[in-house]
Structure 1
């Protein structure tokens, strides 16, 4: 059996072990991808530090991978990417509880074919690697907020959303998808990112560090004459968004979808329901939803340029060996860029 190099997590809070492990053969519905670029996510740091959700060790983490198809399983349809194709995929390490064959932090990784998207030649592997987690989380957020894939609002609907943490990878994906849904898009970010987020589709962007940001957003929404009863929290704390929703919806009925995990003791505000971002709970519905994202919506949107990889990537030197320090940087906070390793 052939082998490949992997960054293996041997235990919670332990350093990654660069080691060789057996290269698996694809299961019936899997695609084996040779990784050329891997993006780092806050979730990766949380899992590596805490071991949350990992069934056993050693484990391999990582979700975002771009590269070449090496082999496909017996039940992968002919119209799915085949050996030699350039692809990007959502490795299911988190959903498979750290199962080593399905983590992105290695040279060869298994990904279910429903989560693999063919990659246009004009998008580089590092750019593409920023896509999967952010795109899936964005659409999971819209599902959670009752705005599922295929929805569209007209200008006459005057339906708005606030995306808090707009310069993160999830935030930029949420902005672009919100625009495609026909929503009026408000976002928050540091001032240096405002122009970029407006280029992606944000109508107005606010400095989240400003002392009066809550009052400023409430006043702007009221002046614009739109309805804002939903918030997508891409990153950051709950309280400001809750206060904004409460002020704009005194009769209640507002909803906040949070990409970060919601703590059990998180603050509650009357009239504002806080939900953790989730895909459809029913397994068949979830599979169908994910398939629509990665096999229909994303390929078409990339080809037409309606959706672009974002934010800009920063490539870390050292390949798999750079993951350890890269996640430390992620923990400390990254603004307006995505950290990526190349193989």
Structure 2
């Protein structure tokens, strides 16, 4: 069988350690891929630094990593969509409470994946480009299409005709935002989004109708003015301050006064000491203020949990039904661009630190 190596997380707040890992064979509905590119997400360092607050079920040592792209090397007995040698991308469920375990993590040579959370990729798409998708796409899909979230109409290939509704996406150049823009447009929605001026061309190229500078002092009033006479489908927010701003906007608009939030409140500067109590205080105090403001403005809010798409049909709709057709037909663009830190698992710590320091309109990753 295959010889596996992984970048292990030995425990909270500890650097990754590259060493051997067992090769795990797939269950009936699973595939195993040999990873060729693995992306890094904020959750990879947030959970490592402060995971005791909201990810208490994770047992160490373990293997993180949600975004993978590579080649299928083994398929389960009931798998029908893939065969050995297929090029794919997938959402690795390394932190899902029901499937958590080292074999599901992306930061290793061989990862076990669910068939319906895996997508075939065309030969024209590099593994590095493909690995920018999974977690951002799953998070966007959860916020947009789940019934207890915004509950929008599903995307189609070719894209749906306009339904006359406008969606607000706060943080359009983030890895979630670039996917949310394309999914919403494919579902027939007009998109108004925020980003920095340097990224306005990017979000416009993905289908956003109007862009607004999120740092502008008048961004809220500017968006309210632009939305006059329109029916709003709600808002999807990423980044600090997005939910607060969208509450003010939706309070003045007609339509769905609902915000799906992809970003949890966290200290502006990661604390070097007392991270857990400071993290808890930040979350609780923000939640109290958010509750009062939501009641005052008549706007409902809810946090997004990307892994919920695994069991409610949204994941299958996106990864099995929509994305392969959209990629093959050139109807969906790989964004943001990959920022490859190096080739090999030994670059995993450097990649995590780079993501933690912050990047703009880039997806940090390593090649394997």
TM-score by length of 1: 0.91
TM-score by length of 2: 0.85
Q: Distance in 1 between matches of 2:24 and 2:306?
A: 28
Aligned to 2:302: 275
Verify: 1:146 aligned to 2:151, yes or no: yes
How far the C-alpha of 1:38 sits from its partner, in A, is: 0.5
User: Helix, strand or coil for the counterpart of 2:94?
Assistant: coil
Aligned to 2:223: 217
Matches within 5 A, 1:9-158: 9-52=9-52, 53=55, 54-77=57-80, 80-96=81-97, 98-143=100-145, 144-150=149-155, 154-155=161-162, 157-158=163-164
Runs (4+) of structure 1 exceeding 4 A deviation are 150-154, 278-284
Q: Distance in 1 between matches of 2:319 and 2:106?
A: 17
Aligned to 1:308: 333
User: Helix, strand or coil for the counterpart of 2:33?
Assistant: strand
How far the C-alpha of 1:160 sits from its partner, in A, is: 0.3
Change (3 A) 1:245 1:93: same
RMSD: 2.1
Match of 2:252 among 247, 256, 260: 247
Q: Deviations over 1:112-135 (max 9, x none)?
A: 111111110010000000111111
Q: Distance in 2 between matches of 1:154 and 1:318?
A: 43
Q: Deviations over 1:148-207 (max 9, x none)?
A: 42588754x431011001001110000111111111110100100101110110001111
Structure 2: 5+ residue runs without aligned partners?
Answer: 266-282
Tell me, yes or no, if the aligned pair for 1:3 and 1:23 is still in contact at 8 Å: yes
Q: Distance in 2 between matches of 1:272 and 1:221?
A: 16
Change (3 A) 1:282 1:240: closer
State the number of aligned residues.
334
Q: Deviations over 1:41-83 (max 9, x none)?
A: 1111211212342431111111110000010111212xx1111
How far the C-alpha of 1:111 sits from its partner, in A, is: 0.3
Change (3 A) 1:290 1:240: same
Verify: 1:234 aligned to 2:235, yes or no: no
How far the C-alpha of 1:325 sits from its partner, in A, is: 2.2
Q: Distance in 1 between matches of 2:177 and 2:309?
A: 26
Structure 1: 5+ residue runs without aligned partners?
Answer: none
Q: Distance in 1 between matches of 2:314 and 2:248?
A: 32
User: Helix, strand or coil for the counterpart of 2:246?
Assistant: helix
Q: Distance in 1 between matches of 2:45 and 2:153?
A: 29
Aligned to 1:340: 365
